[in-house]
Structure 1
Amino acid sequence: MNTLVAPSNTVTMSSREIADLTGKQHKNVLRDVNVMLEVLEKAGSDLSQAVRYTDERGRTSEVRLDRVLTETLLTGYSIPLRHRVVTRLAELEKVSRHTISMPSNFAEALQLAADQAKQNASLHQVIQQQAPKVQALERLAGTHGSICITTAAKQLGVGPLKLFKWLSDNRWIYRRAAFSAWSAYQPRLTAGLLEHKLVKVGKGSEEDLKVVEQVMVTRKGITTLAEQIQGNSL
């Protein structure tokens, strides 16, 4: 497989930036650039990558050089100054260049397509794995404190009777007797998934109400349930 380097633009540096990096006055940098270009022109060098900018009076206000001309200019400067400018050129090259892998034959093209398909499949699998957690957080966002199992079923989008059965089958809740109230298994209480609360039931006057212990699902419990029952047919 061939690796192509695709530059977005030729890396260049202005005389003003060179002045900033080296701490020299811009007029002195311009002088050095002009001297260098005159010598190179007499030697027949290609100066097409040297772009001059002029002001309203026609005087050179700035010169932009490519990497070769910039490094040529720096040969007359001190080592620390050369290092600063060359380091900056390397940073500019990282921005302007990137590598592209191109298949050189049909077999490599098929392998590249297979690798991309594998990456897509892996990404899809990660999305599927994360989906229950995302939906669990959405469920959690709609709850405020502990809620009863019936309300939890609405939050989870399942039928209350089905949720009671699932909780019973998976050892979250149990009955001490056939028609007694539901109780939470101790490990679920310890884990903070369920809790017991005293609630008033009944209608009418205060005398007609009675206090009973009821299993409540915590915010943590809603999140865990959303992850565990997601995709299961209840």
Structure 2
Amino acid sequence: MSSREIAELTGKRHPDVKRDIQAMAKDLKEDVSSFARIYLDGMNRQQTEYLLDREHTDCLLTGYSALMRLAVIKRWRELEEGSARVIATLPDFSNPAAAARAWAEQFELQQAASQALAIAAPKVAFVDQYVEAAGSMGFRQVAKLLNANERQFRQMLLDKGVMYYLAGVLTPYSHHQDAGRFEVKTGTSASNGHAFNQARFTSKGVQWVAGLWADYQIRAVV
């Protein structure tokens, strides 16, 4: 799990999480650079994040609040369940017959996907043309534009790790914001004075998620 994802799940600032990881590595007498990875931020600048395994993540969380620990634990469970599903679907490659069947099935899936992509191409082209003149769009606007069922579209965004729930609000992961796919507007409700955040797809984000949605539908069919 990356230090950026830990920051998003716990509500801590990413520099603070990195500082916590550096302090932990020092206490453990480990080289923190072994966890380091470079990524590009929204301004195309190189930045550093840390990738932790389950053991080091658990160690880091000992100093965090119960709510923060629970948020990260839930995310780890999702990751582990996803890995378990992938492993369960792998064929037995030690069995030549099973391996041959798996190859044949994969070939058929690729053929069906190619045909489905050809059908979806005009729709994606329409989206490209539409968003050229459009500004940022909300979740429901994008779902309507793609003619997508809102529940299925929302589930795809969660399944693909595009967005997550923060205080009951769909929120994009920071690396998608850094990539320019979302903008998050903040404000205060006129009715109750409460602060709110609203994530909106940018034109670039709509084009990107249109392709993601087309691929998601293709895989659901095949």
Q: TM-score range by the shorter chain?
A: 0.3 to 0.5
Please identify which structure carries the higher strand content: 1
TM-score normalized with structure 2 length? 0.40
TM-score normalized with structure 1 length? 0.38
